[in-house]
Amino acid sequence: MTDAQPIQTSPVPRPFADQLVSAVKGWEKGVLLAGISLQLVVLLGMTAWRSYALERGDVYYVRVQPVDPRDLFRGDYVILSYAFSRLPTELWGDPQAQPGRTIYVELVPEGDGKHWHAGRFGFRPPPHGPYLRGKIVGSGRIEYGIESFFVQEGKGRRYEEAARRGQLTAEIAVTPDGQAVLRNLHVN
Amino acid sequence: MDKRPLSQLQRSWLLGEIKVWQAQGLVRAEQAEDILGLYEMPNESAARQQSWGLFALRAVAALFVGLAVFLVIGYNWTELPTAIKLIILFGALLSVHGAAFYLRYRRAARLASELTFFFGCLLYGASIWLIAQIFHLNAHYPDGFWVWALGVLPFALALDTLLLHALLIAILAIWVGTEILDPSPFAFARWFFGLLGWPGLPNGAYTLPLLAVPGLLWSYRKGSPLTAGLYVALLTWWTVLQPFAWDWKTNPIFFIVSLGGLLMVLSEIHRSGSPFAIPYRFCGVLLTLGTLIPLSSRDYYHLWPDLSYYGGIDKNGRFLGPGIIQPLAILAVSMLVVGGTLFVILRRREGEARLTRPVRAFVSRQWLPLGLVLLMTLSSLWVALARESLLPMILANLAMLASAFWLIQVGTREERGRPFATGVLYFLLWAVLRYFDLFGGFGGMLGGAFLFFLCGVTLFVVSLYWRQRKQRRIAL
């Protein structure tokens, strides 16, 4: 541990170090309170951001595609993939389709009255209708922030099997600007 | 003025010396008492040691409880409603920090409060991951470490012990590693610089110095070389990872050896005898000696024969990987470090008109690190232009021998056993490695016997030499 006496063989940055530590120690209580506030702001921000989407977003059901079973269940969460997780072939080679680029996909209702699937993809938000906002992450893959579902330890097996049989549906909440949050998973 | 710490062993030595001084009439009885009065009494020293021992034990206990909390949270109780999970989370965090405040400012129990704050910061980290779990957040996970480190930083700077710094450094080391080696367009760091208009910049975790340098300055001000050493190791780790962030498409091993040499050079910014120079020297020697070992072996160049990313040799014996960027990077960083160090040395010279003397002294002390940097620049340039690996391998072997010699020289010049012993052991390691490389296949048992005999003779000669030096010193 430390807290030893200051040593006289002073290094070069001491004057600034002195100022910095004196300033921090002079406001010790304030700095500690600011630290606690910062921690709370971060945690509340994370909570509020997702809670808003969950509470205010419209709910849609989308089909989950089977993923390589070796990768599907890893530890305590299930990896999910959707039909709209792949970049459509017409956009391959498009100079705009670079990793990190935001991409929008329209949601179109299916005939069963419950599920929705992907419509047109584009680099601008569609003028009307529900849509998802995602990011290209390389290898022609798009992520929407709804690709992980955390489960209690040992409870992921039934989702894995349902996804393999193509019987898994994701319930997502989507805000008007296309931000999606995963609400739940349903086995059909 | 606070009494200076003194161990039992040091106290016995001091008492013996004071008796001799008194007998020789150098100090009077009251002066002897004044000298002893500067230091802790045996009971104070014992209490301090016990207090720190307890603190260390409790810190480990807090760490284990924190790990238990992580695992309990990681279990992800599906039966528990989200709201209850959040209430537990925020309630626990506020209670722990509240308790730490109470201990520090109402009970004046500073060490206990530091432990409690440490536990609170562990809980904060756990909370980040729990909230991500609750909301099935699919984000770039290194960002979680970054946000965690940001929340720990104010505590590390405001509190008085190493504990929070160690936590901060551990989190930052994980963040830098995961951020650079597992890049993602979702990364917060990329987004951060994207805002400043450099979206094409590779993700090199550039906020690391901003988060680490305040702690490094703190350690200087508090007189804690150990804390400084941890920050130096962290900054070294970050620099080592930069070639991967910038995707050099070539093996950055020459850059890493140079970095070790430059750390040794950087230790010169401290005054002679400063304990703050030790972490720089230690990290530098470790990095240099460790990296020269694979670089000096023929097998290393054959390890990844078809991957140009790692350099290596292809089937026709040609060295792969362009890598002109490497010598340029070594040159740029070296100029910065050597120039900065010389500037500090020259600015510090007291009443000495001539500039050449301190520069000459600097070069004579640091000839090996400076030579290594030059050697690595030339080796990487050779590899880039000639695409041949035999010469760099021979030079790396010479560098190993020179390093062993330099360490022995430092040990004998400064009468220090550790550099001396390290130099001798490094020489023996070189001999053993080269034996297995060159003669292991056909030398057989007799060859092995000859090698071990040679090592034994070397050690014997070295021990005789060291003994003679000690005897000469005592005679003087």
Q: What residues contact residue A185 under an 8 Å CB cut-off, 6+ apart?
A: A64, A78, A80, A149, A159, A168, A169, A170, A171
Identity (one letter) of the amino acid at A37?
S
Tell me, what DSSP letter sits at residue A140?
T
- Give the residue from B391, B426, B190 showing the smallest Cα distance to B292: B426
* For B183, nearest residue in chain A (alpha carbons): A137
Query: In this predicted structure, what is the pLDDT of residue B476?
Result: 61
Specify whether A65 is located in the same domain as A50: no
Specify whether A47 is located in the same domain as A105: no
Specify whether A102 is located in the same domain as A167: yes
Does residue A8 sit within a domain? no
Query: In this predicted structure, what is the pLDDT of residue A73?
Result: 42
Res B196 pLDDT > 60: no
Q: Is B340 helix (H, G, I), strand (E, B) or coil?
A: helix
| Alpha carbons B48 and B408: distance in angstroms, whole number | 38
Domain count, chain A: 2
Domain positions in chain B are 255-428
Res B181 pLDDT > 60: yes
Specify whether A47 is located in the same domain as A134: no
Q: What are the structure tokens assigned to B416, written together? A: 């220090």
Does residue A116 sit within a domain? yes
Provide, as residue numbers in chain A, all residues whose Cβ is less than 8 Å from the Cβ of B224.
2-4
Query: In this predicted structure, what is the pLDDT of residue A109?
Result: 92
Q: What are the structure tokens assigned to B141, written together? A: 């996970």
Specify whether A83 is located in the same domain as A141: yes
Res A132 pLDDT > 90: yes
Is B276 touching A (CB cutoff 8 A)?
Answer: yes
Query: In this predicted structure, what is the pLDDT of residue A71?
Result: 42
- Give the residue from B143, B147, B91, B144 showing the smallest Cα distance to B120: B91
Specify whether A33 is located in the same domain as A120: no
State the smallest CA–CA distance between residue A82 and chain B in angstroms: 14
Is B222 touching A (CB cutoff 8 A)?
Answer: yes
Query: In this predicted structure, what is the pLDDT of residue B326?
Result: 83
- Of the listed ranges B55-69, B112-126, B323-337, the one predicted with least confidence: B55-69
- Of the listed ranges B4-18, B149-163, B179-193, the one predicted with least confidence: B179-193
Q: Is B138 helix (H, G, I), strand (E, B) or coil?
A: coil
Per-residue confidence at B371, pLDDT binned at 50, 70, 90? very high
Specify whether A171 is located in the same domain as A104: yes
Does residue A5 sit within a domain? no
State the smallest CA–CA distance between residue B237 and chain A in angstroms: 22
Cα dihedral: B174, B180, B184, B185 (round 10):
120
| Alpha carbons B21 and B210: distance in angstroms, whole number | 52
Range of the domain at A150: 58-187
Query: In this predicted structure, what is the pLDDT of residue B462?
Result: 79
Tell me, what DSSP letter sits at residue B313?
B
Query: In this predicted structure, what is the pLDDT of residue B283?
Result: 94
Provide, as residue numbers in chain A, all residues whose Cβ is less than 8 Å from the Cβ of B137.
46, 50, 145, 148
Average pLDDT, chain B: 83
Please give the helix or strand (H or E) that residue A65 lies within, else none: strand A58-65
Res B322 pLDDT > 70: no
Res B470 pLDDT > 80: no
